[in-house]
A = this chain, B = another copy of it.
C-alpha cells in the first residue's frame, strides 16, 4: 500500500505521544490531522485505482521505468558489450579471478561505510525477515566476502550493477542504476607494487578505449588528513571539509571556501591555508617539494603518505605511465573507507569534434587503498589490506555512443550471417529444413516467419539488417539439388550443390 506503511506510523506516534502527555500539553493535532488528511487521501487514491483497474487502468496508468533508471536498447547493448569485453580482458590480462555477490546485502553491513552518501542507499521493504539494502558499490561486498570466507589474498574483478538514490537534478546525467567494473588486489604485499598495477590497469583501459587524452590525479588520505591537521582543521570536521574539497572539480575555490566557512563553520584563515595547498598539483617533483614543506613535513602521517607516493612514482616510471599521473592535493575522494593512496582518472577536454557538443564527463575511473574495511567485517577485527579501482563505464558508454552517433556509422544489433529466402509460395517446409541445417552447423541464420513472403521483402530485410549472405531455394534449385548463394553486397548469385553449401558459407565468412 503506497506510503500507507509510513504515514499511519507517524500519525500513530503523534497519537501515542498525546496519550503520554498531560492533556494541557495536547496540541500537535496538526500533525495528526495533517497525516490523517494525507492518509485518507492516499486511501481514496488506492481504492479508486483498484476499482478502476479492470476497466480504465490503461488510461490512468503510466508506463515508464523507475525514476533515474532506463532500459538499454540493442544499440546500447552493442556498445556495452564492446566496452565491457575490453575492460574485462584487461582485468584478466592482469590475472584477476571473477567473483559475483548478491544485489542486496544485510542493511547493517552497508551502514557507516559511505560517509555523507549513506542516505543514497536503497533499502528493501521489510516483508518479514532480514533488513536488506541494494548494494551501493562492489567494494564493500568484496570486503564482506573476504572477511566471511577468511580469504587473506585475492585478485578479483567484478562487473555488476549498483544502485544509488541520486537526485538526477542534483547530479547531472547520473543514473540511479548503473554498471561498475571493479578490480581489486587484497593481501599483505610489499609497498606500492599492487597500487602501481592498479594505475597501470587504468591507463591500459583508458588508452585501449581511445577516449582521447586523460590524466590520473593521485593523492593519499594520510596527506589529506595531515594537510587538514597542519592547517588547523578540528579532527571532527575532517570528513565534512574533505567532501567540500572533493567538489573542487565541479565548483570554484571561492564557492568551496564559502561552503567550508559559512556552512561548515571553518575559520576563514584555516580555509585560506587549505586553499594554498589544494591548488598545488604536479609530478614527482611536487612530492619532493612537499617533503620540504615546513608545516606538512611536521606531520608524521603526511610524511608516510609522501614516502609511498615517491615509491609509487618510481614504479609508474618503470611502467612508462608516469607522465599520465598528477599528484594533486585537491583530490580527497568522498568515501570513508580509503586509508592510503587515492586516485581518479579524468578525460581532458578535447575540442569538440564536428557536430559533437563537448561532453563534460569528469571522472571516468577511480580507486584507492582501503586497509581497514575488511577488519570492520571480521569478527576478530583482523585486517586484509586492499587496493583497487573502479571503471566508470556508464560515462564511457555515453561517450562511445555519442561518437558513434556523430560518426554516423550504422551499428549492427544482430550477428546473423545467412538469411534463408525463397522466391516461391508454399516453400515454408524447405526453408525450415534448410535453416535447421544451418543452425545445426553453427551458422547464424534467420528467415521470415511467414508462409509466403515476397522475395523483395526478404532481400530488403537482409539489407536493412546488414546480413551478408542469402541462400535461396525454389523449385528449380530443388529439382537440381542446388541452393543459390547470394552476396547481399555484390548481389552476385551462384548455384552450389546442397551438400557443399555449409562448407562454402564457412569459406565465405572466414574470408570476409
Contact = CB atoms under 8 A, between A and B. Distances in A.
A54 to B, nearest CB: 10
Contacts of A70: 102
Contact of A74 (B72, B156, B442): B156
Interface string A1-33: 111111011011101100100000000000010
Interface residues of A, number: 118
Nearest to A59: B379
A116 interface: no
Interface string A62-77: 1111110111111011
A278 to B, nearest CB: 30
A446 B92 CA distance: 10
A414 B81 contact: no
Nearest to A2: B131
A294 B248 CA distance: 81
A2 B432 CA distance: 58
Interface in A185-222: 185, 187, 189-190, 193-194, 196-197, 200, 204
B8 A19 contact: no
Interface string A408-444: 0000011110000000000011001100100110111
Q: Which of A16, A19, A102, A440 has the most CB of B within 10 A?
A: A102
A276 interface: no
A58 B193 contact: no
Contacts of A147: 63
B104 A69 contact: yes
Nearest to A195: B449
A492 interface: no
A315 B428 CA distance: 9
A32 B59 contact: no
A254 interface: no
Interface stretch (A118-126, A349-357, A360-368, A476-484): A118-126
Nearest to A442: B93
B124 A124 contact: yes
B6 A126 contact: yes
A197 to B, nearest CB: 8
A200 B12 contact: no
A468 B440 CA distance: 34
A347 B72 CA distance: 34
A305 B97 CA distance: 50
A431 to B, nearest CB: 9
B95 A444 contact: yes
A507 interface: no
B19 A105 contact: no
A286 B402 CA distance: 57
A442 B2 CA distance: 54
Contacts of A376: 57
A147 B105 CA distance: 33
Given A124-B123, A379-B58, A416-B95, A9 B4 contact: yes
A496 interface: no
Contact of A8 (B8, B65, B72, B148): B8
Contacts of A163: 103
Given A94-B439, A189-B450, A194-B449, A100 B71 contact: yes
B193 A449 contact: yes
A443 B156 CA distance: 18
B2 A8 contact: no
A196 to B, nearest CB: 8
A221 B428 CA distance: 26
Contact of A439 (B96, B200, B378): B200
A415 B92 contact: yes
Nearest to A467: B95
B122 A124 contact: yes
Given A15-B19, A77-B100, 16 more contacts: A2-B128, A5-B9, A11-B12, A16-B32, A57-B376, A65-B102, A72-B100, A80-B100, A94-B445, A103-B177, A123-B127, A190-B449, A200-B436, A200-B439, A318-B429, A318-B436
